[in-house]
């Protein structure tokens, strides 16, 4: 049996990865950083023989021992907050240093297969491409660009560090999965920041919709891609954008409004000047002002071809997220 160590196993995406691994007869070693994470996973998978390790991206403790008996590293852990911190290093340091800790410990223990969760955020802000051009896996976000957010820089620098590491250690086989915005049903009520915007739209907290598009994908497909990549040699050395579709946000809010007509969901776009003005008072809109006037589309068609699956349609994922939130009373 192949043993897979999943970092950040308590995360929204990683819980689906753990489920997918167990369903495909892998042995799972779940890395968490707190008892809370451990309790959540035990509650979700009461019959599974999960083993646990406690690892912090910012601390050396435990990494060397964690890889005993491990065959594959799935590195998902990275900070994913709903609002940007004042100091970008709060995201960049754990993302980059944590990736290096994970790769170095895996390499020292003889682990040769690694699947890393990167992001479309590491792709779409490439200064060498016209702003309205569609991105592909060949594009790289400029981590120092004037409209590059701290989170986008953190994902870009962490993924770069991983590719640099395997260039020095070619015996390591790396695949990266680069999801767009991830939607779909959470496994439990602890689901990080992923559904933040859907929650904001459902609760009527936003006056209108930013005029921007975004790549998106279902969490179940993201999990499937991580697990299918493990034994698929054709994925080695490549980045796989996980993108089921690219939609203007207003088209997604219209889908939400159709499903929940009684909620105060905005279905009109805010003119860009008004968005900039409103974002002075509504901090969650601030990030969107960076993305105005840019095509955020990323091509994600390679993954289904190489890994043999069909994406769940994006509108279906968005509806599934909303259904979960509404059932939770949001």
Sketch the per residue contact string, 253 through 272, with ligand NDP: x for CB under 6 A, - otherwise: --------------------
Q: Which one of 4-12, 168-176, 204-212, 258-266 is the stretch in contact with ligand NDP (CB under 6 A)?
A: 4-12
Q: Which one of 62-70, 78-86, 133-141, 269-277 is the stretch in contact with ligand NDP (CB under 6 A)?
A: 78-86
Asked if 12 interacts with ligand NDP (CB under 6 A), we say yes
Q: How far is the CB of 119 from ligand NDP (least distance, A)?
A: 4
Q: Which of 27, 141, 176, 194 binds ligand NDP (CB under 6 A)?
A: 194
Asked if 38 interacts with ligand NDP (CB under 6 A), we say no
Q: Which of 5, 10, 148, 322 binds ligand NDP (CB under 6 A)?
A: 10
Asked if 143 interacts with ligand NDP (CB under 6 A), we say no
Asked if 56 interacts with ligand NDP (CB under 6 A), we say yes
Q: How far apart are CA 264 and CA 33, in angstroms?
A: 38
Q: Which one of 12-20, 206-214, 288-296, 301-309 is the stretch in contact with ligand NDP (CB under 6 A)?
A: 12-20
Sketch the per residue contact string, 165 through 184, with ligand NDP: x for CB under 6 A, - otherwise: --------------x-xx--
Asked if 192 interacts with ligand NDP (CB under 6 A), we say yes
Retrieve residue 96's tokens: 């980059």
Asked if 78 interacts with ligand NDP (CB under 6 A), we say yes
Retrieve residue 237's tokens: 């050395």
In 238-303 the beta strands, taken as DSSP E runs, fall at 239-242, 245-248
Q: Contact 163/157 with Cβ under 8 angstroms?
A: no
With CB under 6 A, what is the number of residues at the site for ligand NDP?
26
Retrieve residue 238's tokens: 């490549």
In the chain the beta strands, taken as DSSP E runs, fall at 3-7, 27-32, 51-54, 72-75, 113-117, 173-179, 181-183, 213-218, 239-242, 245-248
| Nearest alpha-carbon partner for 81 in 234, 226, 284, 275 | 284
Q: How far is the CB of 271 from ligand NDP (least distance, A)?
A: 27
Q: How far apart are CA 192 and CA 125, in angstroms?
A: 24
Residue pointed to by tokens 């994913």: 80
Asked if 114 interacts with ligand NDP (CB under 6 A), we say no
CB-based contacts of 2, cutoff 8 Å, min separation 6: 26, 27, 71, 72, 230
- List, edge to edge, every strand of the sheet that includes 27-32: 51-54, 27-32, 3-7, 72-75, 113-117, 173-179, 239-242
Q: How far is the CB of 16 from ligand NDP (least distance, A)?
A: 9
Binding residues for ligand NDP, rule: CB under 6 A, are 8, 10-14, 33-34, 37, 56-58, 76-80, 94, 117, 119, 155, 179, 181-182, 192, 194
């Amino acid at each position: 049996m192949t043993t897979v160590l999943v970092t950040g196993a308590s995360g929204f995406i990683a819980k689906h990865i753990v489920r997918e691994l167990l369903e495909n007869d892998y042995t799972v070693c779940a890395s968490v950083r707190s008892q809370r994470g451990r309790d959540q996973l035990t509650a979700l998978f009461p019959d599974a023989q999960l083993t646990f390790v406690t690892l912090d991206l910012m601390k050396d403790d435990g990494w060397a021992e964690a890889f005993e008996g491990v065959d594959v590293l799935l590195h998902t852990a990275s900070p994913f907050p709903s609002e940007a911190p004042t100091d970008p290093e709060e995201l960049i340091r754990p993302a980059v240093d944590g990736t290096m800790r994970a790769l170095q410990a895996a390499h020292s223990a003889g682990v040769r297969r690694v699947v890393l969760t990167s992001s479309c955020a590491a792709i779409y802000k490439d200064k060498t491409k016209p702003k309205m051009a569609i991105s592909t896996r060949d594009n790289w976000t400029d981590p120092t660009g004037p409209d590059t957010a701290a989170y986008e820089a953190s994902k870009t620098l962490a993924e770069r560090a991983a590719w640099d590491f395997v260039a020095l250690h070619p015996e390591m086989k790396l695949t990266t999965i680069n999801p767009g915005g991830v939607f779909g049903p959470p496994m439990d009520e602890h689901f990080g920041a992923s559904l933040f915007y859907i929650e904001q739209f459902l609760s009527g907290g936003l006056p209108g919709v930013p005029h921007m598009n975004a790549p998106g994908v279902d969490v179940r497909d993201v999990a499937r891609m991580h697990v299918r990549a493990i034994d698929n040699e054709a994925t080695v050395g490549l980045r796989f954008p996980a993108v089921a579709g690219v939609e203007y946000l207003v088209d997604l809010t219209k889908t939400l409004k159709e499903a929940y007509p009684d909620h105060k969901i905005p279905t009109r776009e805010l003119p860009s000047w008004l968005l900039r003005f409103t974002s002075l008072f509504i901090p969650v809109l601030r990030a969107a002002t960076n993305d105005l006037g840019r095509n955020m589309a990323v091509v994600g068609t390679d993954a289904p071809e190489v890994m043999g699956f069909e994406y769940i349609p994006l509108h279906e994922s968005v509806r599934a997220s909303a259904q979960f939130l509404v059932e939770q009373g949001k």
